[in-house]
Chains A and B, each alone.
Chain A
């Protein structure tokens, strides 16, 4: 039996037909070097305008990852000019985002920008994040707005920082820019285990030596709906308990990683 050689990443073998398919898709779809990833769940009211604003602010390619919405989010996003990936099951905000990051890696984008579909993030600020990416590889930039949110949210942030040992200001912001190395890390199967994009993902970046920096941005009120994570008090409690536990469990790994880097 003849086996094809493993690919450069050490992953499973890819046959020539698969390679040709990816090349064709790259040629057809990748028009620019920056891919904007928008995870969306039932965002029919806002998705069209957000995609149009991003395209106008470009040059960016846009992919909307529809987290199995029950409304017309996917159709509207496509109509507005985005490419759409429809998840066959609801996977949650981080895993929808990660699907878009995997897509960015697959098509060889230099930069991926993640942005919420609820209109909180201003497309005009994308350039602030991408221009803050350093020329050194291994960089993630967070669009931070620590002024937003209630006193309770700030207390929660403080608790999460204290338990996990991470020192970033806005750890829950979904507005981020990733370079190739960060794309490669966060599209790996190891990042699938996290439910949220904050503490676990940032600790993973720290451990892998990815530099995380913050750029202040303005954030707007949501155009529609509630937060996908903080939609009810039980959800907030679950989020806090699981994230605090994750921070405590992973904290030492980060220290070791930092010590190794010294």
Chain B
């Protein structure tokens, strides 16, 4: 049952992803990153045995938590990437705002000559 629910969840997310790219709400490179996150989440649900074996190898007594940790880790990385991109955009926005203000001051002074 878990596999079915995970599959539905993953396919729904994939459908939303395609819709967002199609409507230009999501940049294609970001879409690819999200696709990787969704693929790993689906794999964790559809192939629980892989995680059971891996958890046993790592000495984790409750195998499902490994899948949760992997998914959570991926989403955390994605959030970091978002904030890095946001910082770059913010710096560019401030830089441009300062340049616009300086140029506007120049225009006012030149038009008053």
Additional pairs, 17, CB under 8 Å, beyond known A85-B104, A91-B94, A99-B102: A25-B106, A83-B105, A83-B109, A85-B105, A86-B101, A87-B98, A88-B97, A88-B100, A88-B104, A89-B97, A102-B102, A103-B102, A103-B105, A189-B95, A192-B94, A192-B98, A193-B87
CB-nearest residue of chain B relative to A84? B105
Give chain A residues whose Cβ lies under 8 Å from the Cβ of B94.
Answer: 91, 95, 192
Instruction: Return the CB mask of B79-107 against A: 1 if under 8 Å, else 0.
Output: 00000000100010011011111101110
Chain B: interface secondary structure? Answer: helix
Contact A88 B95 (CB under 8 A): no
Contact B97 A24 (CB under 8 A): no
Q: A189-B91, A192-B91 are in contact. Are A21 and B98 (CB under 8 A)?
A: no
**What are 5 contact pairs spanning A and B, CB under 8 A?**
A28-B109, A83-B105, A85-B102, A86-B104, A189-B91
Q: Number of residues in B with C-beta < 8 Å to the partner?
A: 16
From A21, A28, A87, A103, contact of B97 by CB (8 A): A87
Give chain B residues whose Cβ lies under 8 Å from the Cβ of A193.
Answer: 87, 91
Q: A21-B106, A24-B110, A25-B106 are in contact. Are A85 and B101 (CB under 8 A)?
A: yes
Chain A: interface secondary structure? Answer: helix
Contact A106 B102 (CB under 8 A): yes
From B91, B95, B113, contact of A28 by CB (8 A): B113
Q: Does A230 contact B (CB under 8 A)?
A: no
Contact A95 B98 (CB under 8 A): yes
Contact B98 A99 (CB under 8 A): yes
Give chain A residues whose Cβ lies under 8 Å from the Cβ of B97.
Answer: 87-89, 91
With a 10 A CB-CB cut-off, give which of A28, A95, A103, A192 has the most chain B CB atoms. A192
From A24, A25, A83, A102, contact of B98 by CB (8 A): A102
Give chain B residues whose Cβ lies under 8 Å from the Cβ of A84.
Answer: 105
